[in-house]
Amino acid sequence: MGDADPVKAIVTPVRLEYQCSAGRAATRFLRGLAQRKILGARSRPGEPVYVPPRGADPRTAELTEEMVEVSDRGTVVTYSIVRVPSENIKLELPYVCINVLLDGAGIPFFHVLQNCPLEEVRIGMRVRAVWVPDAELAPAVTSIRYFEPLGEPDVPFEEIEEHT
Amino acid sequence: MRDVAIVSFAQWNGIEPERNEVEILRPVVQEAVERSGLARQEIDFTCSGSSDFLQGAPFAFVLALDAVGAWPPIVESHVEQDGAWALYEAWVKIQTGEVDSALVYAFGKTSSGDMAEIQALQLDPYCVTPLWPDADSVAALQARLFLERSGCSDRELARVAARSRRDAMDNPFAVAKGDFALEKLLAEPCRVSPLRDHDCPTHTDGATALVIAAGERARGLCERPVWIRGIDHRIDPPALGVRDLTRSASTSLAGEKAGVRRDRLDFAELSAPYTHQELILREALGLPASVRINPSGGTLCAHTLMSCGLNRIGEAALRIARGEGDRAVAHASQGPCLQQNLVCVLEGE
């Protein structure tokens, strides 16, 4: 390299390690997953059940201390077909990611859909969680392998409109 | 200029690993809002200070809004700075006449990462950060120069530590506290020469929130509004070699603009993470010996990186509101070796 050449790049690796806490609310949610339970939380009866719970109602900042188990079945409120590879998701391309409104939940939950031809995915479709075998259950969202079609009649759009 | 007062203040410092940032922040924000006498929806503007580097996640500050409640949608802003700078933004917003009140909050969960390494990332990314100088070592360079220039000894530094920790005994939110004999402190080995453990900050997690309001609005809310009589912030050049590390020119200028010396002061709350930095700040602000420094114990005794400066302002306001003084200066600092400084003059009604 000559004196007049610009230094175009230098390599300065940065690596920081963190010990993060999921927090009290999300910890309960994660522990539930290890027991095949999906736990949400609400501030009081009649208010939305947040899944996953974050400790407070994000609208009002009220504490959401009442834990509520919701169903592992729900309705697709929106979806996207993924055709680009990701280092972190080892599913065969293309696959479908969904926002699923679990029965009993106040907000949709993010996951992936499998065992469903791409042309059949639709808003309003009923789906259920497929869990990993007992021995692989862990306090992690990966305890749910994916969602798959349930075969029930679709939910009319008007009934889920506020969640779309 | 519109008169702006601090009408309520709440804080928490400590380490509870099972709580995340939102869970630490929420009760503090709620307490400040409740004490203000305003309903959350009545507060016109929300501004916060925090650093995503402490969480190791991009846009982590956005999640903190769960602690505030953002529905119906609120007018909100954030600074990647100590919360004292968020207070400055809120104060400016009130000056524009757009809003009459604001919630200001800050949080720093320092226990998640390695503070010495995280702070290295604020240095020159090409020539200094690759060497990974830890925060204590960088401060020690400044301390050595300061002792040399001022003629102070490590005894003066230990005096700052002993006084701070003794005063911190009255502060439930201080972390390092206790009655320590000077000789005992000086018998300890250096951590990074010339600094001993007691010269370095005790890191903790923490959150701070306060509510400010303009003029008559503030008078209607509290018995003794604490007025922000002047507030200014200045910054020194970032490179450690281009400024006199033993003086804080930015603090002096901010102090002058904020009107620190326009009247007598009862006490000062200075955000000096290291003992020698308190001595540099006293000199920069021209504080006479009669001014009591850091009755709360200061940042040395509870360093959250992002909320400790706002805490100094809150602590000073609280003391004035209680009638333990009429006029005080509060200071916040960020960056290596006191690079960025904010000075705020507070006065009781």
Q: Show me where the domains of chain A are located.
A: 24-163
pLDDT at A1 over 70: no
pTM of the model: 0.94
From A7, which residue of chain B is nearest by alpha-carbon distance? B126
Looking at this protein, which amino acid is placed at residue B118? I
For the beta carbon of residue A159, count every other beta carbon within 10 angstroms. Answer: 12
Looking at this protein, which amino acid is placed at residue B260? V
Chain-centroid distance, C-alpha A155: 20
Q: What DSSP line would sit under A39-94, residue for residue?
A: EEEESSTTSPPBSS--SB-TTT--B--EEEEE-SEEEEEEEEEE-S--SS--PPSS
User: What is the average pLDDT value for chain B, to the nearest integer?
Assistant: 96
pLDDT one-digit tens code per residue, A20-70 = 888 999 999 999 999 999 999 999 999 999 999 988 999 999 999 999 999
* Max CA pair span of chain B: 58
Walk me through the domains of chain B, giving residue ranges and CATH numbers: 4-114+203-221 (3.40.47.10), 133-198 (no CATH), 226-348 (3.40.47.10)
Q: Considering only residues 135 to 194 of chain B, which have any Cβ-Cβ distance to chain A shorter than 8 Å?
A: none
pLDDT one-digit tens code per residue, A71-121 = 999 999 999 999 999 888 788 999 999 999 999 999 999 999 999 999 999
Rounded to a whole number of angstroms, the distance between the first and last alpha carbons of chain A is 57
Please report which confidence band the pLDDT of residue B322 belongs to, taking 50, 70 and 90 as the band edges.
Answer: very high
Please report which confidence band the pLDDT of residue A162 belongs to, taking 50, 70 and 90 as the band edges.
Answer: confident
Which of B15, B16, B19, B33 would you mutate first to test chain A, the one with the most A CBs within 10 A? B19
- Percent of chain A as helix, strand, coil, to the nearest 5: 15, 30, 55
User: What span, in angstroms and rounded, lies between the C-alpha atoms of B64 and B33?
Assistant: 16
Phi, psi of A152 (to 5 degrees): -85, 160
Secondary structure E strands in chain B = 4-14, 45-49, 76-79, 101-109, 190-192, 195-196, 205-214, 226-235, 267-269, 292-293, 327-334, 340-348
User: What span, in angstroms and rounded, lies between the C-alpha atoms of B24 and B67?
Assistant: 9
Chain-centroid distance, C-alpha A27: 15
pLDDT at B321 over 70: yes
Q: Considering only residues 40 to 79 of chain B, which have any Cβ-Cβ distance to chain A shorter than 8 Å?
A: 40, 53, 55-57, 63, 65-71
CB contact under 8 A, A58 and B18: no
User: What span, in angstroms and rounded, lies between the C-alpha atoms of A16 and B40?
Assistant: 37
Q: Which residues on B lie below 8 Å from A58 (Cβ)?
A: 65-66, 69-71
Question: How big is the CA angle at B78 (ends B76 and B83), to the nearest 5 degrees?
Answer: 115
